[in-house]
Structure 1
Amino acid sequence: MALPILICDDSSFARKAIARSLPDEWDVEICFAEHGKQAIEKIEQGLAHVLFLDLNMPVMDGYETMKVIRQRDLPTMVIVVSGDVQEEARKRVIEMGALDFIEKPIDNAKLFAILHKFGIYDGQSSSDQRQCSIKTGNSLEDKLDVFREMSNVAMGQAGNSLAKLLNIFVELPVPNVSIIHSNEIAMAIAEIDKNDAVSGVSKGFTSKNLRGEAVILFNDTHAKSLSALLHPDESSSQVQNTNDIKQDHLELEALMDVSNIIVGACLRGIAKQLDVDVTHTTPSILGLHCELSELVEENVSRWEELILVEIAYSMPSVNINFELLLLLPVDSLDLAFERFLSVREQ
């Protein structure tokens, strides 16, 4: 009798990637869920002897899903598959009852080792037939989904770098990927951050298959908090008593440091998935303590139509949030999609 397997991830590509990784000889019946609420319903229907669970999802994320599974004592074995590679994320899910944690993109060898370790499957470790039988589509939505998943993995690696620097857990969102016209940029960014006073840092990047601009936006309150966190030798009272030039310098230094870490790690994550070399410029200040509309109008994109990737990083323990935006010409979508699939097929 086939073993019921449930794969829960908001990305269609990620769901298929996990399904393709399962051993060929493993007699399983695979079903899918797009978020935790759907997963709980299917577990209660007996459709998930084993659950492969993402963490960053809409409606109900992986942490909330695991909490419900534990509260209701639902009969499923959970293996987390996530782009959030922070050590704290691994620790949390294990404490909540997950068997193990696999980082994205999924490592077949580690998957097979986990299945063997917990006595779930002990047969041959080949997935060639599943790889061939489960294909990725090539519609616009499929391409955006692949780009979103690629951004998700890169976002997680960047968040991990920031978490290590600050020794703080960074909450990661579901990246939002959309195609917009250049005259819609100001409106789109205004919807992201409605604060009157913001500071922005920009960093360009280019490769054979990808080029664009990364922009990080901080509101003034969070910029000050970030500066204090990165300069613990400067007490809050000292910072308040120092002159405006010194305070602006400390904030600028903090913004540049974080921008270098986040953008650098994110671009390395994308480059690794595409197996390309990405070069990038040194970060430049778009503005300090500016109105958002002023900052955007003076730095509007040079492309008529573009891909906008929105990633909102959050550190609630220290009340710091900021936005990372990736702006790319729309032709990058096809180039990245084709390169991404060719690398996966190697």
Structure 2
Amino acid sequence: MSKKVLICDDSGIARKQLARVLPKEWDAQVEFATNGQEALEHIQSNEVDVLFLDLNMPVMDGYQTLEALQSVANAPQVLVVSGDIQTKALERVKALGALDFLKKPVDQDVLEKALEDYNLFGDGANSQGLVLESSAADDFSLSQCLQEVSNVAMGRAASVLADMLNVFVKLPVPKVNILEVSELQMALTYGAMNTGRCSAVTQGFVGAGIAMEALLIFSDSSFPEMAKLLNVTEDIDHNLEVELQMDISSVLIGPFIKALGDQLNIDFSYSHPVVLGQHIKVADLINVKRAQWKRTLAVEIVYEVDNYQISCDLMLLFTEDSLPVLEDLLSYLVEDD
């Protein structure tokens, strides 16, 4: 009997990637949902045997979807597919009833083994093979492709921080936009750093025709909680603030760029991180490099630590000359086999 399969992910790129590695001989009919709410509505009105579920989504995320499925009769078997590879994320989804956790991008052999282990292939009798009931993807922009690889890189960086400090890092959907410098200031002002003063660390990266700057901005209100988290008991002075910034920056920026480079097949060279400013307004922070940034492709990720008042804004700022190179390197995400 044919399996009814639903792939739920807000990223069209991710839906296409997953559909591409499903076994072609699997007797399954595959449909798609773009968030948890859409998936639930589909499940409540249609038979679904297997749900592939992302975690970081707007409207209703994967955790909320798993919770809601606990009260749904004949709920499907759930395989979580996510770039958030924190140990606590795995523990949470298992506690909420997921069969397994597969990290993005999904390896075809790993996926097939999971289907076999959980007896999700079916009996194969009168198999028609894999059938995609609706389009997994249409046309994609550079921003959509960059958002998906940033999502995977974000998960890798958060996992390092989470393991080091034994915390859970709450992850957003990355934002990708081409911005003028004035728009960048507005994005930061109305983002995580919209109150009070902030401090920032910056670091440059280059490789294979791509040049970018990583900018990690901390709200000044985060410093006491950062010290608490790192078991620092002495008074927080200027030197200690710089040390805290550098420690957190090395954990979040380094693994992120490494994971990004792995997906693009690039080994990035980098400059030493430097403090861009301390205890200043966002407008003043932007003014420090206004002449250099001008127009940029920006990736923004706001990291928050669960149960701590810690929030930091990671901005990747690509030069305008990097866009054609990025577009070419990311084209593999949407190429058909």
Q: 2:299 aligns with which of 284, 289, 309?
A: 309
Match of 1:263 in 2: 253
Distance 1:209 1:71, change over 3 A: farther
Q: Distance in 2 between matches of 1:343 and 1:57?
A: 20
CA distances 1:66-101 after superposition (whole Å, capped 9, x unpaired): 000012344201000000000110111111111101
Distance 1:31 1:301, change over 3 A: farther
Determine if contact 1:43/1:74 at 8 Å carries over to the other structure.
no
CA distances 1:179-220 after superposition (whole Å, capped 9, x unpaired): 112332222221112122110111111110422111111111
SS at match of 1:71: coil
Determine if contact 1:86/1:163 at 8 Å carries over to the other structure.
yes
Match of 1:147 in 2: 146
Match of 1:242 in 2: none
Q: 1:287 aligns with which of 277, 288, 308?
A: 277
Match of 1:252 in 2: 242
SS at match of 1:216: strand
Offset at 1:341?
Answer: 3.4
Determine if contact 1:84/1:160 at 8 Å carries over to the other structure.
yes
Match of 1:75 in 2: 75
Distance 1:198 1:146, change over 3 A: same
Match of 2:217 in 1: 217
Match of 2:109 in 1: 109
Amino acid at match of 1:8: C
Determine if contact 1:144/1:333 at 8 Å carries over to the other structure.
no
Distance 1:122 1:274, change over 3 A: farther
Q: Distance in 2 between matches of 1:195 and 1:155?
A: 24
CA distances 1:126-185 after superposition (whole Å, capped 9, x unpaired): xxx999xx886555xx32111100000000000011111211111111111111123322
How many residue pairs align between the two structures?
A: 330
Q: Distance in 1 between matches of 2:312 and 2:280?
A: 15
Distance 1:22 1:154, change over 3 A: same
Identity between Structure 1 and Structure 2 (%): 36
SS at match of 1:302: helix
Q: Distance in 1 between matches of 2:320 and 2:80?
A: 33
Q: Distance in 1 between matches of 2:61 and 2:232?
A: 37
SS at match of 1:120: coil
Match of 1:164 in 2: 163
Q: Distance in 1 between matches of 2:207 and 2:213?
A: 12
Offset at 1:122?
Answer: 6.8
Unaligned ranges ≥5, structure 2: 125-129
Q: 1:276 aligns with which of 238, 252, 266?
A: 266
CA distances 1:311-333 after superposition (whole Å, capped 9, x unpaired): 01011312211111111124434
Offset at 1:28?
Answer: 1.7
Q: Distance in 2 between matches of 1:260 and 1:130?
A: 45
- Structure-to-structure mapping, 1:27-46, within 5 angstroms: 27-46=27-46
Q: Which has the higher helix share?
A: 1
Residue 11 (structure 1) aligned with residue 11 (structure 2): yes
Match of 2:310 in 1: 320
Distance 1:148 1:301, change over 3 A: farther
Q: Distance in 2 between matches of 1:94 and 1:63?
A: 10
SS at match of 1:173: coil
Offset at 1:342?
Answer: 3.9
Q: Which range is displaced more, 190-199 or 327-336?
A: 327-336
CA distances 1:252-278 after superposition (whole Å, capped 9, x unpaired): 101011111111010001000011111
- Structure-to-structure mapping, 1:169-248, within 5 angstroms: 169-192=168-191, 193-230=193-230, 232-234=231-233, 238-239=234-235, 247-248=237-238
CA distances 1:229-260 after superposition (whole Å, capped 9, x unpaired): 22x251xxx52xxxxxx612111101011111
Q: Distance in 2 between matches of 1:324 and 1:207?
A: 20
Distance 1:189 1:233, change over 3 A: closer
Offset at 1:300?
Answer: 2.4
Match of 1:91 in 2: 91
Offset at 1:225?
Answer: 1.6
TM-score between the two structures when normalised by the length of structure 1: 0.89
Determine if contact 1:16/1:136 at 8 Å carries over to the other structure.
yes
Q: Distance in 1 between matches of 2:11 and 2:291?
A: 28
Unaligned ranges ≥5, structure 1: 240-245
For the aligned residue pairs, the C-alpha RMSD in angstroms reads 2.5
CA distances 1:45-83 after superposition (whole Å, capped 9, x unpaired): 224210000000000000000000012344201000000
Offset at 1:224?
Answer: 2.5
Determine if contact 1:22/1:130 at 8 Å carries over to the other structure.
no
